[in-house]
Amino acid sequence: MAHFRKQVGAAVALNTAIFVVEAIAGYESNSLSLVMDSVHNLSDEMALGFLYLAFVLPLGLSRNLIRSANLFNSVGLIAVSALLLWQAVERVLNPLPVPGIVPAAVGLAAAAANWGVARLLRGPARENASIRLAYLHNLGDVQVSLAPVLSGVLVSATRLPVFDPLIAGGIAIWLIGSTLRETIGSRDELISPERMSCGHDDGS
C-alpha cells in the first residue's frame, strides 16, 4: 500500500491548510462558526495524519496507533465541541461584531478544499477500507463547511451577529451527537482495530 502514501500525504497537507486558514480567520473576525468548523477539520487532520502513519509504521504499531487515534479523536472532539457550545451560548447572550463576508468567503474556500481532500482520496478509497471511511467523511465535510457561509450570509443580510454563534452552536451539537453515535456504533473497531484495514492488508 506504499503507493497510497502520496495521495494521503497530499490530503493531510490540504486539510492542514483548511484548518489553519479557518482558525486564523475565525479568531480575527470573531466568527465562532469558522472556529467551530476549524476544530472539525482539526479532528480530520489528526485522523488523516494517523492514517498516513499507519501506512508507514509496522503492522503492530499501526494497529495500536489506530486504536489510540480513534479514542483520542472521539473524546477530544466531544470535549472541544462542548466547550465551544458553551462559548456559543455566551456569544448569543453577548454578541460580538462579525464581518459577514469573512465566514462566507472562508467557508466557501473550506468547502472547496474539503472537496479537494475527498478527490485526493477517491482513488485509494476503492482499494482500502480505512481510506474509504476518510473519503466519505470528507465528502460530508463539504456540506458542514457551508455552515459558516450561511452564517456570513445571514449576518450580512440582517446585520445581526447573533446568527454566527447560533450556527456555531448548531455545528457543535451536531458534532457531539454524530461523534457519540459513531463511537458507539464502532466500538468493536475502537477496541480491536485489527478488524479494520491498517494499510498492510496486501502484505506490503
Distance between CA atoms of 151 and 139, rounded to whole angstroms? 21
Helix residue ranges, H only, 94-203: 101-125, 129-144, 147-158, 163-185, 187-191
CA angle 200, 58, 62 (to 5 degrees): 75
Q: What is the tens place of the pLDDT at every residue in 142-198?
A: 989 999 999 999 999 999 999 999 999 999 998 898 888 776 765 555 445 444 444
Highest CATH level, class, for 2-195:
mainly alpha
Cβ of 150: how many Cβ atoms within 10 Å?
17
What is the pLDDT, as a whole number, of residue 3? 64
Query: Are the CB atoms for 193 and 63 separated by under 8 Å?
Result: yes
Q: What is the tens place of the pLDDT at every residue in 16-34?
A: 999 999 999 999 999 999 9
Q: What is the tens place of the pLDDT at every residue in 85-104?
A: 999 999 999 999 999 999 99
Which amino acid is located at 82 in the chain? A
